Structure 1
Amino acid sequence: MLAQQSTQDNAQNQVTTVASARDIRGASPYIAIKNEPAPKLIVDSPIPEGLVQGVYWAQYRVENLNIVPVFGEGARQVSPRAGHLHIIVDDLPWWWADASNNNTVDIAGLPPGQHKVRIELVDPNHTVFPGQVVTQTFTIPEYQSAHLH
């Protein structure tokens, strides 16, 4: 059974249909999702206002996955699906996990020159979801050091 919610502005006699919570927030955590679609990572281009200050800011969002700080084999069985991001800078041999879901990757203190950031969408066991890696190459211009944070 589907429900529709409408509001009416009596002053102007207009009816407005309101988007459902499911449409905006996704599935309820109380009901397992059958045949869950594959997760998807979408990353915007770096924000120019950050680059001129030596800071990489890139907003992101995910589909069909909740970014939460849960890890391990048991967490792979939850529905809706859970995961987090791995972030790698300039092909360094180390990375960090971001499970904050604050919608913006923030890397400060980058020196002038060309850089590369790789963002991976991974499951609770740190396995990359197929095809869910975004790599961005960008240039930090010469700038005067100032602390934004």
Structure 2
Amino acid sequence: MITTVRALGLAAIALLTVATAIAQAQTPGSVQTQFLPIKDEPEPKLLVDQPLAEPLTTRGVAIIPYRTENFRILPIFGPGASDVSPRVGHLHVNVDDLPWRWADAGGTGAIVLTGLPAGKHKVLIEIVTPEHRVIGGQTASFTVPAIHGQHH
């Protein structure tokens, strides 16, 4: 009986210690949520890989994988979206330094290009704010091989 009482007493002390730690961790102003801006939030990053080898060499299709850190790709535009945390925005994509580009707000994790002529190409992928301010970017350079039986 004394062992049971002692075990229950130790369990109560442990529970009280855990409850106190949780209460201290959740004091006002210390809880972080994705719905409010976080001070000192890490900078967003864009990481772009080279196109996947197999689709490029066999079909001439450039599938360029990318991922972001501390940044979500969403179809949200305008100044109201700038205070969301983690940061949100979209991609700007430019092929071969042409004077036009397009926005990608799908967040699929890959840019897919088909129908590029055989030869060297470069694709600039940038992460941008909902107001189109460029945060950062990376370029993927690759060569589309001449594939017999395909017309470009």
* TM-score calculated relative to the size of structure 2: 0.73
From the CA coordinates, give the structure whose radius of gyration is larger: 2
Residue 35 of structure 2 corresponds to 30
Please state whether the residue corresponding to 2:142 is helix, strand or coil. Answer: strand
1:31 deviation in Å? 4.4
Amino acid at match of 1:33: I
Structure 1: 5+ residue stretches without partners = 2-26
Residue by residue, what CA displacement relative to the aligned partner does 1:100-125 show, whole Å, maximum 9, x if unpaired?
01111101111101111000111111
SS of residue in 2 equivalent to 1:51: helix
Measured on the aligned residues, the alpha-carbon RMSD in Å equals 1.9
Q: Would the aligned equivalents of 2:36 and 2:83 in 1 still touch at CA under 8 Å?
A: no
Distance 1:84 1:30 in 2: 18
> Higher helix fraction: Structure 1 or Structure 2?
2
Work out the CA distance in 2 between the residues paired with 1:44 and 1:137: 10
Q: Which has the higher strand share?
A: 1
2:90 equivalent in structure 1: 84
Identity of aligned residues (%): 50
Change (3 A) 1:77 1:110: same
Aligned pairs, number: 120
Tell me the equivalent position of 2:118: 112
Residue 40, structure 1, aligned to residue 82, structure 2: no
* In structure 1, C-alpha distance between the alignment counterparts of 2:33 and 2:66, rounded to whole Å: 22
Map residues 109-148 of structure 1 onto 2, 5 A cutoff: 109-129=115-135, 132-143=136-147, 144-145=149-150
Consecutive aligned runs of 4 or more in structure 1 exceeding 6 Å deviation: none
* Residue 29 (structure 2) aligns with: none
**SS class of match (1:111):** coil
- Unpaired runs of 5+ in structure 2? 1-21, 23-31
Measure, in 2, the Cα distance between the counterparts of 1:51 and 1:32: 41
The alpha carbon displacement at 1:33 in A equals: 2.0
| Cα deviation 1:20-42 (Å, max 9, x = unaligned) | xxxxxxx8533432211110000
Spell out the pairing of 1:67-106 with structure 2 (5 A cutoff): 67-106=73-112
Aligned to 1:10: none
